Structure 1
Amino acid sequence: MDTKKPKSPKSEKSKVAKNLKEFFIDSLKDIYWAENALVKTLPKMFDQATDQKLKTAIKDHLAQTKEHVTRLEQVFESMGLKAEGKKCLAMDGIIKEGEEIMEETAEGPVRDAGIIASAQKVEHYEIATYGTLAAFAKTLNERTALDLILKTLGEEKKSDCLLSTIADTNLNSQVVDGKLQSKDLNAV
């Protein structure tokens, strides 16, 4: 009688990271997939947006995201690895949620507010990921990788601030049943 448990299909497909370097590489594959997915998604957001400042921010971020893909390829190369992606379940979910928001909101300021909310979720995920990757690169003494990751991290933070500014300057006020809201709130 065979007492060995059969391996699940998932355990056969995925390799378990046994040390920080393997986990770092796995995380790089994850964000590489995510950035490539965004290159495909940002044009859809651009087409759905109506606010000109938002459209410009999305267009600029698409160019920046393509540069992030290139930088990640340089990170892989600096470590003697081939750039490859692994499906990022988190980014896949954020993108699907954003697509749903665009389908379920009226064209104009409401949809634009939804696009900003979705884009900021993307930025926050990227900020968290690149921050973690920077810490790993520093610990592993991967200097080239660290420099490239920190550059991208700074750009992601600036993009998040820009989205907040676009929403705060006028866009969100347009969404509230046509009533302009006071911008003198010191809440956030």
Structure 2
Amino acid sequence: MTITTLKDLYVDQLQDLYSANRQAIQVTRELKEAASSAQLRKALTAGVDGIEEGMDHLKTLIENHDANPRGEHCKGMEGLAAEARAHGVEADFSDEDVRDASIIAQYQRMTHYGISGYGTAAAFARRLGLENDASVLAQCLEDTRSGDTHMTQIASGEVNPAAAEA
């Protein structure tokens, strides 16, 4: 696809986000299975649900612009997902609390990619006068930020103090 206009770039960014979410959802499930903290497992389950909801919204927005949701492959998330697997699932940890701390760090890296993507797409939508799109994307952004804040609370309140004892 040749990107000529801001709208072309906007649709490309939506497709990138959709691809990023497709990749993040799988690794988030894997991180949940590797986590030992019940609170962290619950938060990762909520993360999967939130990613699915975001994907549904993105799919609708993309299709409303006569584009294919799978029209892009997000190489950025590909790298983040590989890192999350390597440092949260496959690494050899001698302490489960340290693994949980690593899982949170990896999950938050992926989340921050989503925050950046949703914020950028929402700004493009507003500039293009696509107020409905902007509203949907702003809600996705807020939901993603909320999940990130919740992970920080889990890290600060339970996981990191326990990992520091290892």
Q: Quick check: TM above 0.5?
A: yes
User: Which residue of the partner structure matches residue 78 of structure 2?
Assistant: 92
Given candidates 116, 128, 133, the residue that maps to 2:116 is: 128
User: Which residue of the partner structure matches residue 55 of structure 2?
Assistant: 69
Structure 2 distance, partners of 1:121, 1:42, is 12
% same residue: 26
Q: Is the 8 A contact 2:18 2:55 kept in 1?
A: yes
Given candidates 56, 65, 77, the residue that maps to 1:79 is: 65
Structure 2 distance, partners of 1:53, 1:98, is 19
The TM-score with structure 2 as length reference comes to 0.93
Given candidates 163, 168, 186, the residue that maps to 2:151 is: 163
> Does 1:58 find its partner at 2:44?
yes
Deviations 1:37-79 (A, max 9, x none): 1222221111100001100000011111111111001212333
Q: Which secondary structure state, in structure 1, belongs to the residue aligned with residue 120 of structure 2?
A: helix
Greater share of helix residues, 1 or 2?
Answer: 2
Deviations 1:95-119 (A, max 9, x none): 1011110222415111100010011
Structure 2 distance, partners of 1:26, 1:53, is 36
Structure 1 stretches lacking a partner, 5+ long = 1-14, 179-188
Classify 1:60/1:44 alpha carbon distance in 2 versus 1 (closer, same or farther; 3 Å).
Answer: same
Structure 1 residue runs of 4+, over 6 Å off? none
Superposed CA RMSD: 1.4
Structure 2 distance, partners of 1:126, 1:67, is 13
Instruction: Identify which of structures 1 and 2 has the higher relative contact order when contacts are C-alpha pairs closer than 8 Å and 6+ apart.
Output: 2
Given candidates 102, 105, 128, the residue that maps to 1:114 is: 102
Classify 1:39/1:157 alpha carbon distance in 2 versus 1 (closer, same or farther; 3 Å).
Answer: same
> Does 1:104 find its partner at 2:85?
no
Structure 2 stretches lacking a partner, 5+ long = none
Classify 1:146/1:22 alpha carbon distance in 2 versus 1 (closer, same or farther; 3 Å).
Answer: same
